[in-house]
Structure formats: structure tokens, C-alpha cells
């Protein structure tokens, strides 16, 4: 067989590009191929060669591809597992933080409930103290203001911070719901407590509670100052009458001493870290009484003393036994006796008045004598306590009896001219420990009684 290019001749195929000569016993045969056939053959050969190259590369590199694929899969799985672990850890931290925050909020709410109960108990004490002071005439602080610039909290009626005129009143019974918050016992289990809104509500209530406590302390302090002023005023008024304030008790006109809380000394507060030869059981610090308790106890004693001082001052025989329109006819001290016309000691005051004019007790007390007594004529003597007595003499009639309790202004009899008298008048005496003293000091001191 011979392959040759076709020969151009008059009898040759003009389109032939390849010719194959096949020689056999029967003769020679010539096979010619055209352009299309050649191109198709070349393309088939190229595709076969390409397939051969790819198949050979795959057979050689197949293990590396498989190993790389599975390594990539393992890396992706490891990355996913690491991400899942990280997210799970983050979720655990968030859950733990939420649980801790929930516990913290519940603890703060419980503390607020206990704090509110303590505030209410204190409010009752302050109210009772203010009532006692008010009933005895001690001037109270004009206002009881608690955080007037703070906005109101919905539902917290127990923490009303509007100004309250006069003395404070006890707060009504308060439940946690009325405080605008939920008690821990009724919080649904597993319920997420939002940190933002709940935290702000609890913080606001804590701030208002602190403000109310501060207002209570301020009110008690002002009440104590008013009581101290009352004690000083009564003491000065008693001293102005020439009476020793110590007659009424050693501590009656004294202000309760200020109790100080002992401070830690330098040895107690020094750093003992790293020190040896030290020990002992771990016990909580024993704290002293609260400053509010110290203050209110001191103020309570001061108010008690102020009440006693005011009561003592008002029990003194201050004022006139008859109306001011009746003039004074004779004063206290040395004078010419109306009968002997010689110098004599006059132990009281004489008020000229028509017979039958009402005579009134100048202070509360107990009648220790009511009857005829020599030169006094018909006389009434009243014991006002603490060794102080008053006498009313020359009366035409007596309206009280011995042992009877009388109040200031009680009519005890009428003006007359019985006993050693030159005409209708009232002889009035003030005696301290049986010694006659000038009643004019007590008469003029009536203006002090109006002030007190």
C-alpha cells in the first residue's frame, strides 16, 4: 500500500487532498480523500489525544484531589464546630448575666420593700412626735418636702413626693405592687427581666426612697430645733420671773445631749495584709445604731423636755386675778399701814374693785385653803406645785372648796371687804416656799405667756 498526493491530471479528482494506493494480487486500487474527510479525521485525532491527556492526568492526580477535598471538608466542619462552640459559650455567658442581673434586681427589690417598711415605721414615729409637739403648742416646720423636682412614678402612691403642709402623716399600708414594682415571689419562673426598663424603675425608686429618708431626717432635725427654742424660751421666761429653773428638775430645761458614733481608730483601719500571728473567727462587723434612730431618740427627749418646760411655764401664776379695768391701789413692799399710819410690810397687791366682782385663778392648781383667815378675811389659797402658791383675800364669798382642782380662769369667789380692810378690794399674793414675792413680776409677765 502506498500513500501519495494525488496527481493532477486531466483524469484526476480536483477536490482530493489525500490518496491511498492499495496494491493487491488483483491489481492496484487508488483511494482518494477530500478536504472534509481530512479535516474530520484530524479533529477526531485531536479529541482523542485531548481525552488521553485528561484521562492520564486524572489517573495520576486522583488521590491528591480526593485528599484535598476531604481536607477541605474537615476544615469546614472544624470551623462550623468552633463557631457553634463560640456561640454556645456566648449564649451561656448572656444567660448567666441575665440570671445574675435578675437575682440582683430581685435582691434590690426585696431590699426596697424592707426599706419602704422601715420608712413607714419611721413616718409613724415622726407623725406621733409631731402630733405631741403640736398639741403642746410647739411650732412645727411649715413644710415636709420630698424631692419636689422629681417626676412621678406611675403606681407608686406610697411614695408621694408632693409637699405636705404641717406635720407628716403615717403612710398607708404598702404592698410591692403599690410601689410600682413586682415582688420576687410573684415573678414567673424563667421570665426574663429586662435590664433597661426594670433597672431604671428600681434605680428611680431607690433614689426617691433615699430622698424621702433625707426629708424625714431633715424634718426631725427641724423639729428638734423648734423644741430646743421652746426650751430656751420657757427657761428664759422662768428666769425673768426670778425663779430658779433648777427648782423644776435638773434636766427639765436642758437639751438632750448629742450622742456621737465612735469612729474606728488608726489601729483598727490599718492594713494587716501579710501580717503574721493574727487570727480569729470571721464575724460580721457590729454596726452601731442608725443615725436616724440616734437623731429621733435625741429629738424625742428634747420634745419631752420642751413639753414639760412649756407645761411648767403655763402652770405658773402669770396674769391678773381680776379684769384690767380695775386699778392697782397698793403695791408690794413697805408702805404706810392704813390703820396704824406707820411703816409696814405689804405682802401682796391690792386691786380696787366693787363688791361682787369675779375673782379668777391665775393658774391651774389645787385649793389648799378656802375659808376665813384672820386679817385676810375670807381667803382662798391655791397650790400650783413646785412650792408656788397664790392667795386671794378679803373676799365677800368663796366659790370653791378645799381639795378642789381648778384651772386657769376658774371663778373662785367675789371681791369683798372682809378681814382687815378699809373697803372693797382684792388682796393678791404670790408665795414661793411660803415666802411672799412681788406679784407684779407675774402680772407683767402675761405678755410672755401670750408669746409662749
Closest CA to 212 of 286, 95, 134, 126: 126
Instruction: Give the pLDDT of residue 34.
Output: 75
Closest CA to 212 of 163, 284, 165: 163
Closest CA to 320 of 441, 239, 403, 423: 441
Domains of the chain: which residue ranges?
112-179+196-262+288-315, 328-451
Q: Which residues contact 440 (CB under 8 A, 6 or more apart)?
A: 331, 332, 349
CA distance 193 to 184: 11
Report the predicted TM-score, pTM, of the whole model to 2 decimal places: 0.55
Instruction: Give exposure, 27-36, as e/b (b: 16+ Cβ within 10 Å).
Output: eeebebbeee
3-state secondary structure of 383: strand
Instruction: Give the pLDDT of residue 47.
Output: 93
Question: Phi then psi for 370, rounded to 5 degrees?
Answer: -150, 100
**CATH class, range 328-451:** mainly beta
Going residue by residue through the chain, which has 452 residues, state the pLDDT in tens, using 9 for 90 and above: 445 555 554 445 456 667 777 777 777 777 777 778 878 888 999 999 999 998 888 787 777 877 888 888 888 888 888 999 999 888 888 887 777 666 677 777 778 788 788 888 888 888 888 888 877 777 776 655 444 443 433 333 333 333 344 444 444 443 333 333 333 333 444 444 444 566 777 778 878 888 888 888 888 888 888 888 888 888 888 888 888 888 887 777 777 665 544 444 444 545 555 556 666 666 655 445 567 778 888 888 888 888 888 888 888 999 899 988 888 999 998 888 888 888 888 989 999 999 999 999 999 999 999 999 999 999 999 999 889 999 999 999 999 999 999 999 999 999 999 999 999 999 999 999 999 999 998 988 876 655 55
CB-based contact 441:242 (threshold 8 Å): yes
Bridging pattern class, strands 343-346 and 333-336: antiparallel
CB-based contact 230:306 (threshold 8 Å): yes
Instruction: Give the pLDDT of residue 353.
Output: 93
CB-based contact 301:295 (threshold 8 Å): no
- Chain-centre distance for alpha carbon 43: 101
The grid cell for 319 is 396674769
Crossing angle between the packed helical segments 35-135 and 195-240, to the nearest 10 degrees? 20
Closest CA to 381 of 394, 392, 373, 372: 392
The C-alpha cell 410573684 sits at: 186
Residues for the chain: how many in total? 452
Instruction: Give the pLDDT of residue 411.
Output: 95
Amino acid at each position: 500500500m502506498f500513500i501519495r498526493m494525488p496527481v493532477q491530471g486531466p483524469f484526476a479528482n480536483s477536490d482530493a487532498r489525500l490518496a491511498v494506493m492499495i496494491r493487491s494480487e488483483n491489481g492496484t486500487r487508488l483511494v482518494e480523500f477530500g478536504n472534509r474527510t481530512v479535516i474530520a479525521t484530524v479533529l477526531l485525532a485531536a479529541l482523542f489525544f485531548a481525552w488521553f491527556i485528561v484521562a492520564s492526568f486524572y489517573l495520576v492526580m486522583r488521590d491528591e484531589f480526593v485528599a484535598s477535598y476531604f481536607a477541605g471538608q474537615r476544615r469546614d466542619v472544624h470551623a462550623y464546630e468552633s463557631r457553634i462552640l463560640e456561640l454556645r459559650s456566648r449564649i451561656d455567658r448572656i444567660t448567666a448575666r441575665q440570671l445574675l442581673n435578675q437575682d440582683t434586681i430581685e435582691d434590690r427589690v426585696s431590699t426596697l420593700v424592707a426599706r419602704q417598711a422601715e420608712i413607714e415605721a419611721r413616718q409613724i414615729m415622726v407623725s406621733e412626735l409631731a402630733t405631741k409637739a403640736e398639741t403642746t403648742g410647739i411650732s412645727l416646720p411649715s413644710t415636709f418636702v420630698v424631692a419636689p423636682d422629681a417626676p412621678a412614678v406611675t403606681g407608686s402612691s406610697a411614695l408621694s413626693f408632693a409637699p405636705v403642709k404641717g406635720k407628716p402623716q403615717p403612710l398607708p399600708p404598702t404592698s410591692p405592687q403599690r410601689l410600682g414594682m413586682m415582688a420576687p415571689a410573684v415573678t414567673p419562673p424563667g421570665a426574663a427581666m429586662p435590664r433597661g426598663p426594670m433597672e431604671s424603675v428600681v434605680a428611680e425608686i431607690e433614689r426617691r426612697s433615699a430622698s424621702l429618708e433625707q426629708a424625714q431626717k431633715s424634718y426631725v432635725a427641724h423639729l428638734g430645733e423648734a423644741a430646743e427654742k421652746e426650751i430656751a424660751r420657757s427657761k428664759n421666761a422662768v428666769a425673768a420671773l426670778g425663779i430658779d429653773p433648777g427648782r423644776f428638775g435638773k434636766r427639765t430645761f436642758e437639751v438632750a445631749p448629742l450622742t456621737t458614733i465612735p469612729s474606728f481608730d488608726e489601729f483598727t483601719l490599718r492594713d494587716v495584709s501579710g501580717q503574721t500571728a493574727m487570727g480569729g473567727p470571721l464575724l460580721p462587723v457590729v454596726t452601731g445604731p442608725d443615725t436616724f434612730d440616734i437623731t429621733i431618740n435625741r429629738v424625742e427627749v428634747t420634745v419631752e423636755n420642751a413639753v414639760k418646760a412649756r407645761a411648767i411655764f403655763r402652770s405658773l401664776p402669770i396674769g391678773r386675778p381680776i379684769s384690767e379695768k380695775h386699778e392697782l391701789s397698793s403695791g408690794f413692799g413697805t408702805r404706810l399701814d392704813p390703820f396704824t399710819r406707820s411703816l409696814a410690810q405689804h405682802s401682796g397687791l391690792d386691786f380696787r374693785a366693787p363688791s361682787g366682782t369675779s375673782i379668777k385663778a391665775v393658774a391651774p392648781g389645787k385649793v389648799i385653803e378656802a375659808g376665813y383667815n384672820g386679817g385676810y378675811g375670807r381667803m382662798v389659797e391655791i397650790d400650783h406645785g413646785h412650792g408656788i402658791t397664790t392667795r386671794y383675800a378679803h373676799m365677800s364669798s368663796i366659790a370653791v372648796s378645799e381639795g378642789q382642782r381648778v384651772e386657769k380662769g376658774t371663778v373662785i369667789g367675789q371681791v369683798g371687804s372682809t378681814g382687815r380692810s378699809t373697803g372693797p378690794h382684792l388682796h393678791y399674793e404670790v408665795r414661793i416656799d411660803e415666802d411672799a414675792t412681788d406679784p407684779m413680776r407675774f402680772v407683767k409677765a402675761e405678755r410672755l405667756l401670750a408669746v409662749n
